[in-house]
Amino acid sequence: MNPGMALRLLHHAEDFYKEFISECNTVPEVIIFHQVNPDILKVLSNLFSTKECEVVDFSEKIGNCGAASFGIAMNFIKERLANKKVFLCSFGTGGVISVGLWQF
């Protein structure tokens, strides 16, 4: 996928997030994106970081390690997850978005 196109597609992530959150009727305190690419994660962090919500980004440290990136990222912050709602989100080839909302 063209990196520029990928970054443009990620701007649609905000609409997807708003729809998902409205259906769940809750807002997460932590967001962990699939650790794919540092540039893409910077865009996502800018879109989603707020005082109420932390975006976790270990892409510079762990790189792209597939589905394991969620578990690795959560392990780095495990002591901060108690009683938190955690939004896990992965963006795949072709603009596919997979998400889950976990309560710790």
Distance of CA 40 to the CA centre of its chain: 10
pLDDT at 29: 93
Instruction: Name residue, tokens 């807002």.
Output: 27
In 1-83, which ranges are continuous DSSP H helix?
Answer: 3-10, 13-24, 38-48, 59-62, 68-76
pLDDT for 65 beyond 80: no
CATH 3.90.1150.10, domain 3-8+31-98, yes or no = no
Instruction: Give pTM, 2 decimals.
Output: 0.80
Phi, then psi, of 30 in degrees rounded to 5? -135, 140
**Ranges of each domain in the chain:** 3-8+31-98
For the stretch 73-95, pLDDT in tens is: 899 999 999 999 999 988 766 66
Sign of the four-CA dihedral 34, 40, 41, 43: negative
Q: What is the pLDDT of residues 6-58, one digit of tens each?
A: 667 777 777 888 888 899 898 899 998 886 677 777 888 888 888 788 888 88
pLDDT at 58 (0 to 100): 85
Quick one: DSSP state of residue 79?
G
CA distances from 82 to 8, 12, 85 (A): 34, 30, 9
Q: Give dist(CA 66, CA 54) in Å, integer.
A: 21
